[in-house]
Amino acid sequence: DIQMTQSPPSVSASVGDRVTITCRASQGVSNWLAWYQQKPGKAPQLLIYTASTLQSGVPSRFSGSGSGTDFTLTISNLQPEDFATYYCQQTNSLPLTFGGGTKVEIK
């Protein structure tokens, strides 16, 4: 199984900040990497797929990059509605696996 490791587990930031979350795969997944946002009590929402493609309706302040084993999710100009937990997921091979999550908290 491909292990997905996210860092940091949590980050404190202020509105307007730039936040960067990393995701590392235990083996190469090409660009088959997705990012989700999850708010408390809600289902995850797809933000980005194939490492850098923005899902329809997702604000352009979200961006993704990387390939192979190392990936990054960047939130520019953090907004109040962005405080949530973010998960990466590899879709390169079965079993599909998720990172442990990164909680973006208000400083």
Partner 1 sequence: QLQLQESGPGLVKPSETLSLICIVSGGSISSGTSYWGWIRQPPGRGLEWIGNIYHSGSTYYNTSLQSRVTISVDTSKNQFSLKLSSLTAADTAVYYCARAWGWLRPYDYWGQGTLVTVSS
Which CB, 17 or 91, lies closer to partner 1? Answer: 91
Do 59 and 47 contact (CB within 8 A), yes or no? no
d(CA 71, CA 37): 16
Q: How far is the CB of 94 from partner 1 (least distance, A)?
A: 6
Examine residue 32 and tell whether it contacts partner 1 (CB under 8 A). yes
Interface with partner 1 (CB under 8 A), residue from 14, 60, 81, 94: 94
Stretch that binds partner 1, among 19-27, 40-48, 60-68, 74-82 (CB under 8 A): 40-48
Which CB, 1 or 70, lies closer to partner 1? Answer: 1
Q: How far is CA 104 from CA 2, 46, 56, 86, 95, in A?
A: 25, 16, 22, 8, 27
Q: Which residues bind partner 1 (CB under 8 A)?
A: 1, 32, 34, 36, 42-46, 49, 55, 87, 89, 91-101
